[in-house]
Structures are given as C-alpha cells and as structure tokens.
C-alpha cells in the first residue's frame, strides 16, 4: 500500500488497514506521513509487520463486528510474533478502548482521529510493554504541517477541514471526529501546487462537511477558485457537501471555472419533510429541489449524486414513497443507499420507533432498483457522444482495457493502445450500462 522507505531509523515496519470513507483513507495517509518522518517503513504484508494498525469507521453497519474479526487475525499473528504491536485508530477508538484494550486485551494502543501525532511515542512505549491510549478530540488539530504519505498516481486527496457541527440526528461523526475546523487557505493552496508539480492530475478537496470551510474571510468558493488557478491541467473535485452550505458563490465558482469538475455529491437522506425534520437536516424537499434547479441552470450538464437512508426511526411506507418520488424528480446520476444503523449518543438512538430490518432491506432494494434504471437511462444518452476523459489506468476486468473518468465523474472503459495514466484523451461512447460507459478512441 505504501512505498517502502529507505533510510529507516527504527527498522520497524508498519501494516495499515483502512475502513470507511475517503476522509479515513486520507487520515491513513497522514498517519503514514507522521510515521515516515520517524523513519518507519511500510508493508502490505501483515506477516512481515512489526506494527499492525487498523483505521476504523463507526458510521454504519456492524462495523464493530468486522473490526473484531480483523483484530482476531492480528492477534493470531501476534502469537507467531509476540513483538507485534497492534493498534486501533480512528472513529471507533474512543468508544471501544475499554472493550478492546482492558477487557479483551486485543490491542496495545488506541488512538483517536485527533491524536495521531502521538503515534510514534505510543508505539515506542508499546514495544516496551506499556499499553497506550490517546483519544482526546481537539478543537484546533488539522495536521496542517504534516505531509501525507501518498501512493504515486493520478489522483490525490487533500483534507481541508475536519469534524462536523451539523449534528444530523442519525450521525455519530460530530461525536467521533469532533467540531469543525479548517486548515489555513495558503497551506492548502501550496499543497495543491506541490501535488501538481509531482504530476498529480486530479485533486479532491475533502471534509466531512467540506463546503462549510472557512479561514478568515475566505470561504470554500474562494478556496476552490484558488486551487483551480494553481494549474489549469489539474482537475479539482470536492466531497462531501451539505445542501445548507451550497452557496451561490460556490455554484458560480463551479460553473465559471473550467477545471472544477461539473460534479456535486449532494446528500438528501430522505424525500419526506417529516423525516428531514426528525433528522435535523435543516432543509425541506421543496428547498432542496429549488437548489437542484438553481445548480442545473447555472451548470448545464452537471452530474448530481446523493446519499439516502432507509428505515430512520418512524419512517413509514409513505415517507419511503416520497423518497422514491424525489429521486425520480431529481433524476440523480448516482446514489449511495444505506440502511439506517442506530448509533449510541446520537439523538435518533433515543427515538425508538424501530423499523424492522427486513423492511429496511426491502426499501433499500427499491431505491437501488430505481436508481439503476435512472442511471441506465441517463448513461444511454451518452452513446454517440465524444467525451474528454482523464486516463486512470488498467481496468479491473482486463489488462487490454483501461479506464478513465469524465469531468462529470463517469467511468469510461476503452481498449488500451498506448494511453498513459494522467493523460487526457477524447473517446466516442459506443455503449453504456447503468454503471459504466464504453468508448473507443475518437
Ligand atoms: N445509518 C445509516 N447511514 C448513515 N449515514 C451516516 N450515519 C448513518 C447511520 N447512522 C450515511 C449518510 C451520510 C453518509 C456518509 O453515511 O447517508 O451522508
Ligand atoms: Fe454526519 Fe450530518 Fe455532519 Fe454529514 S453533515 S457528517 S451526516 S452530522
């Protein structure tokens, strides 16, 4: 996963496994940067590791059971190599520290998302037999001075803000990642400049609620314009945004800057006003549809995707029907569809009115089927068109085929001749299904 490091002071090799969202993947790159500076090397093979870390995500599903299973495997390795230091990082750290560290003795160190700077010393101490915990949240930590350890390639993430103050009632993020804080404007721009110089072609600005970014007088629209100005050959994207913070200034920046991708992930969560209020989402269905209208008229051809949650406490058949109706009205280009997972500490946890799991599954199934039809229909309209794509590399299915992406974030598969990752090419779309466009070099 990580490049091997020469010049290793400690001789220790670290294995990192990452779960969850892009923020978490970016955090693992930060952890890599912090440890690399101390001379650690990295391995993608657990059996050769001296330190095994698991970066956890607590947002949905039975993530805990999965992490438990992985830690079991790490401990089997620890029986073969008693010097192995095992640690959990990230969103689950605070809540599970007692269970995994004291009760079950599954880990040596537990480190929350704002305490990664302590990792080197915690690992040192753990190697000497001392268990360690660092799970405090910070109001200021942004790791602004840490250079993430990225794998080489076409695409890079830049984390520009951390935490979330929105407190949607279903979501554990404000509790596990803490309050919102933004990195300084100038260092983000400098980091993007350095990425462009290193040959990256596609940069995604990341934050749990990225469009509420603020540094002094600079808002997210200013930041997007400034990073887009760094290099016009660089594609700029962002995720993930809250409808409430989708400002006119940001819409204008996307519409008038050619290297800002015409793609917005705009999670709606539900199509029922009653549920949106219970979720504390701060917008109504009409307000959301008006925003979509405004975005579409300002940015012709823009691609819109969403997140939905099925089975929020008290969600009725009628609420679900309203979500399907909203999806048809918007005609999203894509949707991520989740079953509601109760999370301790959130307000929804207290709400009772539990929706049966089979019903959640059935509703998710209906949303997925609808979205598949919508995506197929939309993608069919691309057949015959020419699209400029950024080449990413070999496709998963065949070495003779490469993939690239359009400005609207559609994946295009095409026969490979001599195209190189990072190159822009034009392809003519020959056919399409709900997930992929298939093209030939124009
Ligand atoms: N249950 C299900 N989905 C959730 N999400 C966040 N919290 C929960 C939860 N408790 C989803 C939302 C959010 C996405 C990142 O994860 O749809 O937009
Ligand atoms: Fe969670 Fe809502 Fe914040 Fe997104 S905006 S991270 S769903 S609290």
Which pLDDT score, from 0 to 100, does residue 321 have?
98
Of residues 153, 163, 143, the one with CA closest to residue 30: 143
Around Cβ 344, how many Cβ atoms within 10 Å? 10
Burial of 48 per CB tally in 10 Å (0-12, 13-18, 19+):
exposed
The finding on whether 91 has its CB within 6 A of some atom of ligand 2 is no
**According to the model, what pLDDT value does residue 2 have?**
47
Q: Which mutation among 174, 307, 350 tests ligand 1's pocket best, with the greatest number of atoms within 8 A of CB?
A: 307
Q: What is the gyration radius of the CA atoms in the chain, in angstroms?
A: 22
Grouping H, G, I as helix, E, B as strand and the rest as coil, residue 379 is helix
pTM equals: 0.95
Distance CA 66, CA 63 (A): 5
- Mutation test of ligand 2: which of 163, 168, 169 has the most ligand atoms closer than 8 Å to its C-beta? 168
How would you write the pLDDT of the chain (442 residues) with one tens digit per residue?
444 444 445 789 999 999 988 999 999 999 999 999 999 999 999 999 999 999 999 998 778 888 989 999 999 999 999 999 999 999 999 888 888 888 888 999 999 999 999 999 999 999 999 999 999 999 999 999 999 999 888 999 999 999 999 999 999 999 999 999 999 999 999 999 999 999 999 999 999 999 999 999 999 999 999 999 999 999 999 999 999 999 999 999 999 999 999 999 999 999 999 999 999 999 999 999 999 999 999 999 999 999 999 999 999 999 999 999 999 999 999 999 999 999 999 999 999 879 999 999 999 999 999 999 999 999 999 999 999 999 999 999 888 999 999 999 999 999 999 999 999 999 999 999 999 999 998 8
Please spell the DSSP secondary structure of 72-125, one letter per residue.
HHHHHHHHH-TT-EEEEEETTHHHHHIIIIIIS---SEEE-TT-GGGHHHHHHH
For strands 41-42 and 85-90, give the pairing: unpaired
The contacts of residue 33 (CB under 8 Å, 6+ apart) are 146, 147, 148, 149
- Give the span between the Cα atoms of 307 and 312, in whole angstroms: 13
Ligand 1 atom nearest to 343, measured from its CA: 10
Choice from 58, 60, 171, 267 to test ligand 2 binding pocket (greatest atom count within 8 A of CB) = 171
Question: 308 alpha carbon to ligand 2 midpoint, in Å?
Answer: 13
Q: Point out which residues pair with 306 in neighbouring strands.
A: 335
How far is 36 from 148, CA to CA, in rounded Å? Answer: 9
Adjacent-strand bridge partners of 89: 55, 111
Rounded CA gap, 428 and 388, in Å? 9
Nearest ligand to the C-alpha of residue 173?
2
Distance in angstroms (rounded) separating the CA atoms of residues 271 and 320: 7
Nearest CA, atom 14, ligand 1: 307
Q: Which ligand is nearest to the CA of 269?
A: 1
| b/e code 164-201 from CB counts within 10 Å (16+ = b) | bebebbbbbbbbbbbebbbbebeebbebbeebbeeebb
Q: Is the peptide bond before 200 cis (omega within 30 degrees of 0)?
A: no
- pLDDT tens-digit profile of 141-169? 999 999 999 988 899 999 999 999 999 99
* Ligand 1 neighbours by CB, cut-off 6 Å: 59-60, 170-171, 267, 269, 307, 309, 338, 340-341, 343
* Ligand (nearest to CA of 337): 1
Indicate which atom in ligand 1 lies nearest the CA of residue 267: 18
From the CA of 309, how far away is ligand 1's center (Å)?
Answer: 7
Taking the centre of ligand 2 as the mean of its atom positions, its distance from the CA of residue 142, in whole angstroms, is 18
């Amino acid at each position: 996963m990580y490049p091997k490091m020469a010049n290793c002071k400690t001789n220790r090799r670290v294995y990192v496994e990452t779960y969850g969202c892009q923020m978490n993947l970016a955090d693992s790159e930060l952890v890599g940067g912090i440890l690399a500076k101390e001379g650690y090397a990295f391995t993608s093979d657990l059996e050769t590791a001296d330190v095994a870390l698991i970066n956890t995500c607590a947002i949905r599903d039975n993530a805990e059971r999965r992490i438990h299973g992985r830690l079991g495997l790490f401990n089997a390795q620890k029986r073969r190599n008693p010097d192995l230091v095992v640690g959990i990082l990230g969103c689950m750290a605070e809540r599970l520290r007692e269970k995994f560290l004291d009760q079950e003795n599954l880990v040596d160190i537990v480190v929350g998302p704002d305490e990664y700077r302590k990792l080197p010393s915690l690992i040192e101490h753990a190697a000497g037999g001392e268990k360690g915990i660092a799970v405090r949240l910070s109001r200021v930590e942004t790791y602004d001075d840490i250079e993430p350890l990225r794998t080489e390639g076409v695409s890079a993430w830049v984390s520009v803000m951390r935490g979330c103050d929105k407190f949607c009632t279903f979501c554990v993020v404000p509790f596990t990642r803490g309050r919102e804080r933004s990195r300084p404007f100038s260092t983000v721009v400098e980091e993007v400049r350095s990425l462009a110089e290193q040959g990256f072609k596609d940069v995604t600005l990341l934050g749990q609620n990225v469009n509420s970014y603020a540094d002094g007088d600079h808002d997210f629209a200013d930041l997007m314009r400034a990073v887009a100005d760094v290099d016009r050959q660089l594609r700029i994207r962002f995720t993930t945004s809250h409808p409430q913070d989708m400002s006119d200034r940001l819409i204008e920046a996307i519409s008038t800057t050619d290297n800002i991708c015409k793609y917005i992930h705009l999670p709606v969560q539900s199509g029922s006003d009653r549920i949106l209020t219970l979720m504390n989402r701060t917008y109504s269905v009409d307000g959301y549809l008006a925003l979509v209208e405004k975005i579409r008229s300002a940015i012709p051809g823009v691609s819109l995707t969403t997140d939905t949650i099925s089975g929020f406490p008290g969600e009725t058949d009628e609420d679900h029907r309203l979500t399907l109706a909203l999806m048809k009205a918007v005609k999203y280009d894509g949707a991520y569809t989740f079953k509601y997972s109760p999370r301790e500490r959130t307000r929804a946890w207290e709400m009772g009115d539990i929706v049966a799991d089979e019903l959640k599954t059935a509703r998710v199934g209906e949303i997925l089927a609808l979205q598949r039809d919508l995506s197929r229909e939309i993608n069919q309209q691309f057949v015959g068109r020419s699209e400029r794509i950024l080449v990413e590399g070999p496709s998963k299915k065949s070495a003779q085929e490469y993939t690239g992406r359009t400005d609207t974030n559609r994946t295009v598969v095409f026969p490979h001749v001599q195209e190189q990752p990072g190159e822009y090419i034009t392809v003519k779309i020959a056919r399409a299904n709900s997930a992929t466009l298939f093209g030939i070099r124009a």
